[in-house]
């Protein structure tokens, strides 16, 4: 991974969180991942949904592709290429879900309108809480990093 031209030096080479933030830690990258999960496929789709400047959008799409989170695929005839999430990009769904859950709890006033995520049956989706092997809820207070 570290030999691609668009990839920065790792902020903290031994920390998975730091490396992840190096890849998707800026505002626009996460919003582009979110929108790809919600059906955005073209440069124009992403630009219209986010309002991001075209030069920044081109840069972020290029970086996400360099990291293997999205890829360009052939579109129907007479169209430009489209973007699709790769398997690695799809694996960010729990991250987006966790950010959504945190936002619902802490970024809106009680009763303030916001979008909701629903499954194919129409039921609202909530972010799961992490638990240990025995079902105990996990927090920063009962876990530790081993280096």
What are the boundaries of each domain within the chain? 16-96
Alpha helices in the chain (DSSP H): 16-24, 27-37, 43-50, 54-66, 87-90, 93-106
Which is it for the CA torsion 48, 50, 56, 58, positive or negative? negative
Torsion of CA 25, 27, 30, 35, to 10 degrees: -170
Q: What integer pLDDT is reported at residue 117 of this predicted model?
A: 95
Cα 128 from Cα 94, distance rounded (Å): 9
Instruction: Examine the pLDDT at 4 and tell me if it is beyond 80.
Output: no
Q: What integer pLDDT is reported at residue 78 of this predicted model?
A: 73
The architecture of the domain spanning 16-96 is Orthogonal Bundle (1.10)
> For the chain, what is the largest distance between any 2 Cα atoms, rounded to a whole number of angstroms?
55
Cα 118 from Cα 126, distance rounded (Å): 9
Instruction: Examine the pLDDT at 122 and tell me if it is beyond 70.
Output: yes
- The model's confidence at residue 2, banded by pLDDT at 50, 70 and 90, is very low
- The model's confidence at residue 8, banded by pLDDT at 50, 70 and 90, is low
Spell out a b/e string for 50-79, using b for 16 or more CB atoms within 10 Å of the CB, else e. Answer: bebeeeebeebbebbbebebbeeeeeeeee
Q: What integer pLDDT is reported at residue 113 of this predicted model?
A: 96
Q: What global pTM score does this model have?
A: 0.87
- The model's confidence at residue 77, banded by pLDDT at 50, 70 and 90, is confident
Q: What percent of the chain has pLDDT over 90?
A: 84
Mean predicted lDDT score pLDDT of the chain:
92
108-114: average pLDDT: 95
14-33: average pLDDT: 94
């Amino acid at each position: 991974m570290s030999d691609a031209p668009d990839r920065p030096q790792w902020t903290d080479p031994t920390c998975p969180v730091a490396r992840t933030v190096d890849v998707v830690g800026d505002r626009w990258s996460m919003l582009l991942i979110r929108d790809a999960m919600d059906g955005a496929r073209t440069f124009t789709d992403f630009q219209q949904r986010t309002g991001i400047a075209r030069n920044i959008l081109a840069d972020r799409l290029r970086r996400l592709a360099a990291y293997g989170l999205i890829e360009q695929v052939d579109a129907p005839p007479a169209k430009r290429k489209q973007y699709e999430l790769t398997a690695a990009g799809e694996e960010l769904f729990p991250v987006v879900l966790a950010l959504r859950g945190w936002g619902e709890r802490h970024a809106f006033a009680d009763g303030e309108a916001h979008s909701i995520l629903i499954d194919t049956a129409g039921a609202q989706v909530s972010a799961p809480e992490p638990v240990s092997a025995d079902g105990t809820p996990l927090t920063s207070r009962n876990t530790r990093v081993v280096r």
